[in-house]
Structure 1
Amino acid sequence: MRIISLHVNGLQQAVEKGLYAWLKTADADVVAIQNLKAKEYQLPDAVLYPEGFNAYFFDAEAEGYSGVAILTKEVPKAIMTGLAFPQCDMQGRFIQADFPHVSVGSVLFPAVDEYNSLEDKLAFQKAFLDHLNKTRRKRREFIFCGNFEAAHKTVDLDNWQEQQSTPGFLPEERAFFDQMFGPVGYVDAFREANFGENQYTWWPDADSARRNQNGWRKDYQICTPSIRQFVVDAKLDTSLRFGDHAAVMVEYEFDED
């Protein structure tokens, strides 16, 4: 199962720039997309019905803001939207596709912006951790993909010494990852197969910074611990120009039937 996670700055403009054409060559089974910046009813058929995929969307209440989608080759058993707390559900930040033995989610964490303060972001992290704890009690496996709007370790961003007081690398934000990959028991799937340096997924200046590195790893695929043995490959496609994020591509070699 090949899963791709990609944050776009508007789904329609990403499709116009070639997103769906690229997906035809990417051989993905599931594609988790974040930051649609449009409601489902506003999107044309060319965006709503990508060739070879079943597409599912979850909108934010605000116009032109947030929103997530998940594209699947196989028709899922069920689609779940939201996580039962207003910050997530009103802002269109989570959608999940359930397959026979694994669920795959697309999640968009809030940035510190006009809609969310740092306290709001920390509250989202706490609520998501609560959800992860609940999933560990279920008799199925989970993979969550998306933009977590923060870097975890010093290897996950350039010039980290200068960023320690910057939202996205604050100690209280990084503590979320320590909990998620520690007591909660989830696994950083990308790092199971890719230990390279300069593995960045976001750049403040998408053009010049990619040449000079100066990036952050804000986009993750995390999974329940039983899945870690099935992660066989993980890489980034930094050549894309559908937004200011790279595509996170992870290959899981297991049979979910």
Structure 2
Amino acid sequence: MLRVATLNVNGIRASHRRGFGDWLATRGCDVVALQEVRCPLAALPPGAFGDRHVVYEPGRVAGRNGVAVLTRQAPVGVRTWDAEVLVRGPGEEHLHTVPAPDGVPLARGLGRHTHEGRYVEVDLAEAPVTVASLYLPKGGLPARLQVPARMREAPDGGARYERKMRFLAAFARQLTRSRRAAAARGRELLLVGDLNVAHTRHDVAAWRRAQTSEGFLPEERAWMDGLLSPRTLVDVVRSLHPGTDGPYSWWSWLGGAFERDAGWRIDHHLATPRLARTAVSAVVDRDHRGVRLSDHSPVVVDYDV
């Protein structure tokens, strides 16, 4: 059995104060993918990644982004988007980064994002699987939907929206490359992470109102349609929870959203079909010993590989 979790920690230092280390030590996951680690190497908390091997791509945007994959065994391959990564084993404390050992040709349009700390993938030693951790841009509203009185952020004329849509188009091309490259290595591909897109009305509690919100716009949902098919990638959690609302993985800190379970399902496991068929359980750890680790919660899937 291979237990894989994904969690947007929204800052590893804050999540550690809330109990991430204890969750990691007791949850029994073989692989844990993290997003928004948001921590310079020199500021990582002691034992930040427990007794795991870690590949951490911090990016070069101060206080933003950062993705990692934690494994029980040292990975046998590492790839990212032309960036340097921290690769270290249990008990090691070095802080130097190295070029990702295995380069990956970038799809057109991704070059401008190589410094942002949004993607890293590893080949597992314990199973013929490549696990990729992705933090996709949140984006914004198109200009036509921007009403200043209803916005928390200043209107930007749709700049954040347009940037996200360009990223989505480029990443779709890159994902096809990664999936085919994994197959050529004799591996299944598992893309996990915070995609900042909810796919269907079952993935947002207030889905009617959310149709004019970033993350649930028709064009974002159409992008997800294009990623998923019985031949390419399968939404593993939805396949195990068909036709039901949730399980949600993100809730606002405001307005009692968590207590009311008024959440969004934007943290995903997307697997190649053969791997998806081995999934036997998918749960969201809403809290750990009564404490939320982040505004996101871990999405944990067991694969019988």
TM-score for the superposition, normalised by structure 2: 0.77
List aligned pairs for 1:1-257, cutoff 5 A.
1-47=2-48, 50-82=49-81, 84=106, 85-99=110-124, 101-112=128-139, 117-138=160-181, 139=183, 140-182=187-229, 185-195=232-242, 196-205=244-253, 208-240=256-288, 241-254=292-305
Which structure has the greater CA radius of gyration?
2
Shift of 1:120: 1.1
Q: CA offsets per residue over residues 54-83 of structure 1, 9 Å max, x none?
A: 112101211101111111001110221227
Corresponding letter in the other structure for 2:139: V
Shift of 1:206: 5.7
Q: Percent identity?
A: 32
- For 2:193 and 2:254, locate their aligned partners in 1 and report how far apart those are by CA, in whole Å: 18
Shift of 1:112: 2.2
- For 2:300 and 2:13, locate their aligned partners in 1 and report how far apart those are by CA, in whole Å: 21
Q: Secondary structure at the match of 1:137?
A: helix
Corresponding letter in the other structure for 1:175: A
The 1:184–1:40 alpha-carbon spacing in structure 2 relative to 1, beyond 3 Å, is farther
Contact 2:205–2:245 (CA<8 Å) still a contact in 1?
no
Corresponding letter in the other structure for 2:294: G
The 1:77–1:112 alpha-carbon spacing in structure 2 relative to 1, beyond 3 Å, is same
Segments of 4+ moved more than 6 angstroms:
113-116
- For 2:69 and 2:178, locate their aligned partners in 1 and report how far apart those are by CA, in whole Å: 19
Q: Secondary structure at the match of 1:46?
A: coil
Higher mean displacement: 118-127 or 101-110: 118-127
Q: Secondary structure at the match of 2:277?
A: helix
Corresponding letter in the other structure for 2:296: H
Shift of 1:6: 0.3
Shift of 1:184: 6.9
Shift of 1:52: 2.4
Contact 1:87–1:124 (CA<8 Å) still a contact in 2?
no
- For 1:25 and 1:33, locate their aligned partners in 2 and report how far apart those are by CA, in whole Å: 17
Contact 1:189–1:223 (CA<8 Å) still a contact in 2?
yes
Corresponding letter in the other structure for 1:253: D
Corresponding letter in the other structure for 1:42: A
Q: CA offsets per residue over residues 194-228 of structure 1, 9 Å max, x none?
A: 33423111112367111112211010010111112
Q: Say how many residue pairs are matched.
A: 252
The 1:175–1:87 alpha-carbon spacing in structure 2 relative to 1, beyond 3 Å, is farther
Q: Secondary structure at the match of 1:96?
A: strand
